[in-house]
Every structure is written in C-alpha cells, then in structure tokens.
Amino acid sequence: MNENLPLRPGDKVFRPRRITRFHLKRVLGIPAVFSAGYGNVGSSIYYALGIVALVALGATPIALGVAGILFILTALTYAEGTAMIPEAGGSASFARHAFGNTTGFVAGWALMLGYIVTISISAYTIPPYLGFFWETLKTSPVIGTSASIFVVLFLMLMNIVGIKETSIINITATLIDILTQISLVVIGFITLFDPVTLVRRMFDNWPSPGNLVLGIAMATIAYTGIETMSQMAEETKKPEKSVPRALVLMIVTVLVIFAGISLVSLTAMTPQELATEWARDPVAGIAYYIPIELIRTVLKPLIAVLAGTILFIATNAGIIGVSRLTFSQGMHGLVPSVLSKIHPRFKTPYVSIIVFSLIAIVLMLPGFFAIDIFKDMGALYALGSLLSFMIAHASIIGLRISQPGNVRPFRISANIRVFHREIPITSVLGLLATTAIWVILLITQPFSRWIGLGWMVVGIFIYLLMAWLRKRRGNEWVVKPGSE
C-alpha cells in the first residue's frame, strides 16, 4: 500500500475533526465557593438531625461528632486533590489521574446520583418550612410538590444564564443562614441548655451497638457537600489557594454550628420527639420549646425563611455540581459528549443542567402521593457520595505513590513512609472509615441498595456501550487513501 498514490473515485478519505477544548469562566472567589458548598452541608441539618435521631436516639450528638471527624479527613483529602488538579470533576478527576478512565467514570457516575438526590430532597423540603406562611404548602402534597418542581425549574434557568448570577444569590443567602443559626444556638444555650438533662437523656436513651453504628452511617448525610466546592475549581480564581481555604473555613463553620444545634435540640426535646414529631422540622422544634414568648414569636417565621433559604442554596448547589461534573466527564469522553455542550452565549453546560434537573424532578413525582420520603432519599444520597469519597481517598494515596513529584500547593502534612513514598494518614483513615460505612448502608438500607446498585449498573452499561461505539467508529471510518 502506497499512501502517496493519487486519490481515485470512490476512495474514502478520513479527515479528523479539530478538537476544541472549551473552558468555563474563572469568576468565583472564596465566598462563592464556600457558599455553594455550605448550601449542601448546611441544609442537611434540617432533615439529617431527625433521621439520625431515629436510629441513634440519645447518641445523636455522638453520631454527628464521629461523622464530623470523617468530614475533616475527607475535606483534607479534597483540599490536596483540588489544589493539585484544579479542574471540574472532583473525585472523578482525582481517580482519572490516579487510576485511569474506568475508575474516574465509576466515581463520577456515583457522584451524579448524590447530586441528583440533593436537588430532589432539598427542593422537596422547602415547601413544608414555608408552610408557616401558607399552611397549604405543608398540608397539600399536590401544592407542595408542585412548588418544589417550580423551584428546580427556576434554578435550572438561572444556572443556564450564568454561574456568576447564581453565586450572588448563594453568598447572600449563606450569610443570612449562618447568622440565624448562630443566633439560634446562642439563644438555645442561654434559655434551654441544661447539661444534667442532656446527659440523662443521652444515657437513658442509649442505642444498641448496631443502631449506634447505623446512626453514624446516617450522620454522614449531614456532611456530604464537599464535592460541590471541588467541582467549581475550574471556575475559581486561583483555585490552588481559594478552594483549600474555602474547605478549611467550611470545616470550622459546619462543626461549630452542627455541634451547637445537636446539643441544644436534645436538651429542648426528648430523642423520641426529635425522631417523630419534629423529624421533618427539628430546628423549628428548638424554637417551639424556647421559654420566652417574644423570642418564639420572632424565631418561628425567621426559621421558616432560614430553612427555605438554605434549602434553596442546596438545590442550586446540586445543579451546579452535577452540571460541572458532567462537563468534565464529557470533555474526557466518559459520558456522551452532548452533556458537556456549552451554551454559545452564556458559556454554561446547559444540556447537562437541563437533563439532570429533569431527572431530579422525576424523583420528586412520588411526592404527589407520599409525604415522608426523607430517610430513603437521604440514605441513597449518602450511598452515592460515600462511594465517591472512598475513591477520592484512594486516589490521593495512589497519586502520592505514582506521581510523588507533582506540585501540591496544599499538602496534607501528617504522613507515613511506605517504600520511600509519603502516604497521608488522614486519607488512609478516611478510606477505611468511608468503606466501612458504605458497606453498612448497603446491607441495612434496601431502598438505597437496589436503587443505587441499579444506577451503577446502568452507568457501566453506558460506559461499555460508548467504548464499543468508539471502537466501531474507528474501524469503519479510519480508511487511508489508496487502501482499497
């Protein structure tokens, strides 16, 4: 075969397409990254507290505290990974660099499930809180679910228009939420907190060892928002510095507020009340038991606005996270490329925003008929997120072994030497803990087990189908001139 022969009629000519690499605009600073992440983490207290109390009873603060330690380990892993690889993708990006495309796809596909459930559960819990102003939002499944769907559609359009506009909403709402939560904790400690009552309720309602472990597993729901901050690295100014600083700020803020609210809530009400009557509205339960009538009168509407605001942020953060993750996966050929398509005017991944917003709406449709779906959705959320966390920890360890010379603007300092490689202790502990908790959820939660495994099977099928199509297209289309 001579490739220099002139072309003849009927010869097939392969002209490779010019590949254009699109980039998202770097417009975000530390406040925008922090507020998007806090939208996921901070919102979970409005439903995670009741879910944890349902199984952990008096040990609810302990379960949240242990999960908080896991949160610190995971945040440090993401700080090092994002500073080293400042691109959209989070754990999926870490895994792709450490272990290859297949592991990167598995991490990304699991994380997509977590983001979709975040959008659904956050939007679905907004109307019950706003029911303080219009009771029908809380009592009517049709009106409440319709309002939730409207929230997702509104934020879908906002995110298509542009990330900068939505980040302004996030920063404002986050500031209001943090100030209100701190005020609630301070007022609660002054008017309600009694260490004797707290200790008595904890020990009188101590769970079995199995329920305590399950409570810790469910408590991880309260801290699964780290990925959102990592996903925004490609749109962040100086991400190697801004994202780690935002993560450290997140650690301090979240642990202080969560510890305060969990201690005050268990002083204000019994674990049984927290797990039943106030399961869907635990923060409102704290306000209900405050003995000063004037403060109660002010706090009730304030908490309604507070909850609606932070859950609105969480819904928005879920849309931001899943769209940026899909953008990254699509650009590397791990999901259909159409999902990473950028809007010609707004420069946002509008196709993925629309697709996953609509899937989240589908998950909310049972809300027209069922009221309490929080526990199952929360467990499903944790299952997908924990799998991503497991892969993130493993990836940082893998990168320390395979690429020790890489520049790491943020480097975990606590290390052990293994075969002349420095392995971060926090990542090792995080990997062991997240794996154990993930297995517990897989065994004990049938709804999340079957939905989660089904989602992963569908994803693997799509991945294999794409690989087969790429191979088939290559065999059929790449025909050199003169080869026939």
Choose between 229 and 208: higher pLDDT.
208
Q: Which of 2-16, 22-36, 455-469 has maximum average pLDDT?
A: 455-469
Q: Distance (Å, rounded) from C-alpha 82 to C-alpha 90?
A: 7
pLDDT at residue 150 tops 90: yes
Check the CA dihedral 411-415-418-419 and report its sign: positive
What is the per-residue pLDDT for 214? 82
Choose between 49 and 18: higher pLDDT.
49
Q: Which of 17-21, 156-160, 180-184, 339-343 has maximum average pLDDT?
A: 156-160
Helix 239-268 × helix 163-191 angle, to 10°:
30
Q: What angle do CA 39, 45, 51 make, to 5 degrees?
A: 135
Residues paired with 421 in a beta bridge: 418
Taking alpha carbons only, the member of 154, 184, 331, 160 closest to residue 263 is 184
Q: Distance (Å, rounded) from C-alpha 326 to C-alpha 227?
A: 13
Q: Distance (Å, rounded) from C-alpha 257 to C-alpha 47?
A: 15
Choose between 115 and 394: higher pLDDT.
394
What is the per-residue pLDDT for 167? 56
Mean pLDDT of 46-61: 84
* Domains along the sequence of the chain with CATH: 32-405+415-472 (1.20.1740.10)
pLDDT at residue 324 tops 80: no
Mean pLDDT of 335-357: 80
pLDDT in tens, 292-314: 888 888 888 888 887 888 788 78
What is the per-residue pLDDT for 180? 79
pLDDT in tens, 426-476: 999 999 998 998 898 888 888 888 888 898 998 899 888 888 877 777 644
Least confident of 76-80, 157-161, 166-170, 441-445: 166-170
pTM to 2 decimal places? 0.77
What is the per-residue pLDDT for 435? 92
Structure tokens at 257: 């507020």
What is the per-residue pLDDT for 357? 92
In angstroms, the Cα distances linking 358 to 118, 153, 222, 237, 242 are 13, 8, 25, 30, 32
First to last CA, the chain: 9
Q: What is the mean pLDDT of the chain?
A: 79
Mean pLDDT of 140-145: 87
Class of residue 373 by CB neighbours under 10 A (exposed 0-12, middle 13-18, buried 19+): middle
